Amino acid sequence: MADLGVWKYKRNIEKLDVMSDKNTMRVALRTGILQFRIPLLASFLDVFCYQYSMVDRLNREAWRKVWEEWGKIYNNHRPPTPASMDYLIFRLGKIACRPNKRFCLPEKEVAEKKLESLIPQDRLIFRADKYCIFSDVCELERKILNAPNSISIEGRTGWKSGKSNEGGGGGISS
């Protein structure tokens, strides 16, 4: 809303963070800017959402650090706030860094027809060679990682959705 001029901020705009959601968390995990020593638990094992709250906080901090490092680059084109990166990261998670896949797209260049079907902002997800902008930083063992779920609505992200692949996060295999 700030980028669109709906919200008029005169100060502290740089305090707005990237919002944590399953897409921004998944991209952070798969690119390696957010790493854990142990696998993330299934949502129904995290009854009080402590794990989810921790990952949410660390995700926001990780994207803020990316934004701060971006500002150190000479002649950078950094957006005015970390939250300004949110749409790109969210769409990257929806289009190229898909949940519950054992790989991030594209492992090969994206098809021209697919690229043409995207709105101009979504085309920024792919480099000129038609590969994902993060394809060089995503290591093979991280390409399956998924964000944790928080227990919320029964049957959506809570007790009844306990399934996942070895990427974890979304649940647990039975």
**What mean pLDDT comes out for the span 29-47?**
78
**What mean pLDDT comes out for the span 83-103?**
81
pLDDT at 143: 79
More confident residue, 34 or 149: 34
What is the torsion angle, in degrees rounded to the nearest 10, for the CA atoms of residue 64, residue 68, residue 71 and residue 73?
-120
Q: Which residue has the tokens 């995207």?
A: 118
The residue type found at 13 is I
pLDDT at 66: 95
pLDDT tops 70 at residue 136: yes
pLDDT tops 70 at residue 171: no
Is residue 37 classed exposed, middle or buried when 0-12, 13-18 and 19+ CB atoms within 10 A define those classes?
exposed
- pTM of the complete model: 0.77
